[in-house]
Structure 1
Amino acid sequence: MEPGNQQLLSAFLGYLASERQLSVHTLANYRRDLERLDQQLQELGCPGWQTLSENNLRRAVGRLHGNGLSGRSLQRMLSAVRSFYRYLTREGVVSHNPALAIQAPKSSRRLPQTLDVDQIDALLERETEDPLQLRDLAIMELLYSSGLRVSELVSLNLVDLDFSDASLVVTGKGRKTRVLPVGRKALAALERWFKVRSGLVRPDETALFVGRRGTRLTTRAVEQRLARQGEQQGVNGRVYPHRLRHSFASHMLESSSDLRAVQELLGHADIGTTQVYTHLDFQHLMDVYERAHPRARRKKE
């Protein structure tokens, strides 16, 4: 990356960290996407962000797509470029945003993987006295009960949970907080975890969930533990935090059809992000319809 380009990118990332307060993970995504695009632009003979034209950006996107980058990845990249150029315009570095009129190639939208209610029960309805198993059960119950992101889960502190009110204060993307309900079974699992937590935690640790060393769990540790739990219980497919979040959203929509409420619970800024779950709900309705309607049942072979 050219020195001038690196300076502009570093300033932009600093702005995202300090003013937008984005997570380290999100910042890494911005950096990776913009550096990848910058490399492609330089190969096309367009070395500077300040001189980038709409036509050259379109050529770079086309080249990246031709080299196998998916439409979804290109959409994210273009979103990063738009944000970058909004910042550059605000700072007076450029006078136009070359990414505004460019659309990424369309790609089929993958439906989120979910667990059905029987799989959830197989995963969560267990008796154990092992402290780490009790912690894992509390984690899974909370992910499924309240639809948390794994980053939100690992950032939880003791003070964020209110047993008397059955509620939880969660800090999501952009440091936005929301108050979520906690279900009865999740509260019971958390109470069982609290009874053994003191035997693991360091005296000054405020995290709700800790590991063997008594310190806050990482997202990677949670992912590994959930994958292991899924294997041990024979769940079909890999169990991971976002799959429990997807299951929460899908089951809530199946029962309530209240898209706005599910949007608020998930902490989605755009309801369009939540609407992917309506496709899952429609699939569920189609299954019910084909089983129940006398003129829709499939013939037995």
Structure 2
Amino acid sequence: MNYSSCEMKEHINSFITLLCVERNLSKRTLKAYHSDLNCMERWYFEYNVREVTQATLLKYFEYLQSVKCLNPRSIQRKYVALTQFFKFLNQEGISGERFFRFTSRKFQLPKSIPRTLSTVEVKTLITAVDAEYLHCEKDFHKNICIRDNAIIELLFCLGLRIGEISTLDLEHYDSLEHTLLIHGKGSKERLLYISAPEVQKKLDNWLLIRKYFQPSTAALFVNRFGGRLSIYGIENIFTKYRDKSQINPKSTPHYLRHSFATQLLNNGASIRDVQELLGHKSIVTTQIYTEVSITKKKQVLLQYNARNELFH
């Protein structure tokens, strides 16, 4: 396949449009695809490569490893993006060549254990938010604490991603059933039950005082100006109370998600149930995520969720 910078850019844009329309990928994922493909396109231009072949692609990945010194995770992400792109070129009849005869086995990711917080650390973190509330003198700061408390609790009680909390709207919470409709990665929805009565109460308390922030949005959690609370705002909330509680200084909000999953498994929940609750696709199989009934989720969370008994 002959290389032309203008044509390559046009093909890349067409591919990104297809991903957006057919796969309904998030803006962040589309941006990652675009970045990876543009990186390849720049390399072809800078090294004056005139033809796109299996051999030149192999040289490109050697460049990523030896010159750019990218880690295996970054290289594998680019491998996935490029294989999808060149598959698109084949399907559209733009090229009939087979570009990837080499596999990604040399880019395999090192296995790492998910970083978690201990039960004591989680309890200390939540207690720090409670203590902050008791020491607040102004009503505004008390209301901020009520909001922050509900957010920290949901991060652990349901193992939510910060992006999932940020995108929650009022209509996604059923206060009678104590369920939240979560919009996860890939626009997948899952319904989760808040099994801990303490967490139910804290979320309901937040909704009672949310109006004092004069919300300009339907977001469940708003910032001090009434706008939707961003993922960076949620990260800052976690960091604030992480430092106040003096737990693992390297921990992030995602540690609570890992802790949620780990403790479910430790308490006897099945891997299948945990995958469903987290909204994950199976890594082992290619089976698309299938929603299980809320009744089953209630049973799993009522029986296994460590938050239910955290202060008992």
TMscore range, shorter length: 0.7 to 0.9
Provide the residue aligned with 1:283 in structure 2. none
Query: 3-state DSSP class of the match of 2:32?
Result: helix
The offset of 1:143, in angstroms, is 1.4
Query: 3-state DSSP class of the match of 2:190?
Result: strand
Provide the residue aligned with 2:7 in structure 1. 4
Query: 3-state DSSP class of the match of 1:168?
Result: strand
Provide the residue aligned with 1:80 in structure 2. 81
Contact 2:170 2:219 in 1 (8 A): yes
Instruction: Say if 2:281 is the partner of 1:269.
Output: yes
Q: Residues 97 and 139 from structure 1, CA distance in 2 versus in 1: closer, same or farther, beyond 3 angstroms?
A: farther
The offset of 1:187, in angstroms, is 1.4
TM-score normalized with structure 1 length = 0.82
Which of 144, 157, 174 is the equivalent residue of 2:156?
144
Which of 36, 39, 44 is the equivalent residue of 2:42?
39
Deviations, residues 219-240 of structure 1 (Å, cap 9, x unaligned): 1121122111211111112342
The offset of 1:272, in angstroms, is 4.0
Choose between structure 1 and 2 for higher RCO, CA contacts under 8 A separated by at least 6 residues: 2
Q: How does 1:1-150 map to 2 (within 5 A)?
A: 2-46=5-49, 51-67=51-67, 68-99=69-100, 101-103=102-104, 104-125=106-127, 126-127=130-131, 128=133, 130-150=142-162
Q: Match of 1:122, as an amino acid?
A: T
Q: Match of 2:15, as an amino acid?
A: F
Provide the residue aligned with 1:194 in structure 2. 207
Taking only aligned residues, the RMSD between alpha carbons, in angstroms, comes to 2.1
- Rounded to whole Å, the distance in 1 between the matches of 2:234 and 2:98 is 40
TM-score normalized with structure 2 length = 0.80
Contact 2:9 2:41 in 1 (8 A): no
Q: Residues 100 and 248 from structure 1, CA distance in 2 versus in 1: closer, same or farther, beyond 3 angstroms?
A: farther
Query: 3-state DSSP class of the match of 2:213?
Result: coil
Q: Match of 1:92, as an amino acid?
A: G
Q: Which runs of 5 or more structure 1 residues have no equivalent in the other structure?
A: 274-301
Instruction: Say if 2:230 is the partner of 1:218.
Output: yes
Q: How many residues align?
A: 269
Deviations, residues 39-78 of structure 1 (Å, cap 9, x unaligned): 233344435xxx5222221111111111310111111111
Provide the residue aligned with 2:303 in structure 1. none
The offset of 1:257, in angstroms, is 4.6
Deviations, residues 181-200 of structure 1 (Å, cap 9, x unaligned): 21323212211211221101
- Rounded to whole Å, the distance in 2 between the matches of 1:117 and 1:110 is 21
Moved more, 10-19 or 246-255: 10-19
